Structures are given as structure tokens and as C-alpha cells.
Amino acid sequence: MRFVIVTGMSGAGKSTAVNILEDSGYYVIDNIPPVLIPDFANICDQGGFEKVAIGADIRGFVTQKSDAPEKELVENIKLLKHRYEDVKVVFMDADDDVLVRRYKETRRTHPMNAMFKIGVADAVKMEREMLAGIREISDIYYNTSGMSTNYFKRTFRETFSSDPESSLTVNIISFGFKYGIVTDADLVFDMRFLPNPFYIPELKPLSGLDKEVRDYVMSFEDSVEYEKRIHSLIDFVIPRCIKEGRPGLTIAIGCTGGQHRSVTFAERLNDHLTAKGINTLVIHREMRNRLS
């Protein structure tokens, strides 16, 4: 039986993640108090369920009469991992200012507002302190601060659509440093030291999706050598991620504006990995923003 426990900060995307798991064939129960998790696992085990997902968040904590329900969740997660071979804990997160803004924009009430009679910012701070121990034992971490809903859905669905014991999906994201770094990246590569096509008049309106730009970027010895070293490192990392049973690896490639050099390297890395039979998902973050 495969267990996925989705937890994390309120407003970070847990409901979306749980819905995706349900659509992927998992039997899902959401907002379960930590004290009930072991009994629920036993019922699922006896019932012959193959894939089970549990949503556990602060709503279950504040309604449970326990001095430290978050610690109880940590202990129950450890119990499940000892009892079953395939248990993954997904921790959904976002930056504090992003969480506060989301609650203000949607006019929703944070689960801790009414119980502790505090504002949203204080509720977020208190919740983060309560969940610190759970984040430490999580297997998969998502920070959705810079993600669109569609991008997160695609990434999360790719992560759990295949068997994590035998495959993984490499997410390749090109971006511009001037617009902010990719916060959930496992590896980040900086292209800004390479010659910039932006300053070539005929190349400026194009992107790394165009052959002219790719040919220019790769015409320099530093570009060729840098790419060779990046590919060598990634070729070393990926088999070890697969061996670990890791379902996803996010590689971010950045330049100044996210249009030319980063897109070029991302596309070429995608070609390199797909030729090896690796599952990939390519996102050109700034290109997407420009087109939208």
C-alpha cells in the first residue's frame, strides 16, 4: 500500500494537491485529526487499498483536544513509515507575505483566526512554528510562492503519475533573475556571465526557442564547456535520485531576463535528457509571462 500524506501551511495549495491525488486514483481523506491516522491506515490496509492519500493540516490540529497535536502527527508519520515501505510526506509551503496576500485577496478566514483571535499575519507565524517539526521529516517540499496554479498542477501531477520507485520527472525551468529566483528548485544554474544576445539588435526580439539565438549562445567556448559540465553533473545526480526513490527533480536555469541564454540551455538540456529516456517537463517562466 502506498501512502501520501499532504500537510503544510494553510493557503499553500494543499487542497489542490489532494484533489490531484484523488484524480490520480488515490483514496483520499482530508482534514483528519492526527490521532485518527493510525486507525485509518489499519482500515485501508484491511480493505486492500493500494493507494491512499491523507490531508492533515492545522484544521485537524486546532479541533483536537491535545496539548501538542503537531507532535502527535510527527509520531504517527514515523509509525506509518516503520509499518509500511512506501510512505511519502508532502509539505506545502509559501512565503509568509504570499500567504497573507492570498487570504486577503480571497477574503477567506485563516483556521487559527477565530480560535486565537489574532490577525492573518500572526496566524501564519504561529502555524509555521507549529509545523516546523513536520516540515523537517517531509520527503517532498513545494514552495508555491512563484507558481501559477496551472504550473503547480502539472508539476504535482507529473510527480505522482508514475511509480516513484522506478522513475522520476525532471522539471526544467528557465527564468530571469531580475524577476526573482525559482524558490523550489533543487539545482540552480546561472547563465549571466555568458555573452547576451539581448544586445544584438537582430536577436533581441527573438528567444532561445529560435535557432539564431541558440547558435549565437553556443558559439562561445565558455558556453560549450559550461553546458558540458552541467550535463555531466546532472547525469551523475539523476541515477542517484532514481535509486533514492525520488519522484521529481527541479532544475532552474537563469539569465538576466529569462528570454535568451536560459531558454537556450533549458531546451538543450531537455534534448539531452529525453534522448536518455528521462521524463521531463519544460517551463519557460518569463516566456509564459510575456505571452500571457
pLDDT in tens, 43-66: 998 888 889 999 887 766 655 455
From 128, 161, 194, give the residue that closes a domain: 161
CA distance 93 to 13: 8
Same domain, 143 and 245: no
Range with the largest mean pLDDT of 49-63, 88-102, 134-148, 166-180: 88-102
- Return the C-alpha torsion angle 189, 256, 169, 222, nearest 10: -40
Domain match, 180 and 133 both: no
Which of 113, 135, 161 is a domain's end point? 161
192 shares a domain with 157: no
Which residues 6+ apart lie within 8 Å of 272 measured at CB?
A: 231
Q: Are residues 137 and 107 in the same domain?
A: yes
Say if residue 30's pLDDT is above 80. yes
pTM above 0.85, yes or no: no
pLDDT bin (cut points 50, 70, 90) of residue 292 is: very low
Same structural domain, 105 and 132 = yes
Band of pLDDT at residue 213, cut at 50, 70 and 90:
very high
Q: Look up the domain containing 132 and give its range.
A: 2-161
Looking at the structure, tell me whether residues 34 and 155 fall in a common domain.
yes
The number of domains in the chain is 2
Query: How high is the pLDDT of residue 37?
Result: 87
pLDDT beyond 90 at 229:
yes
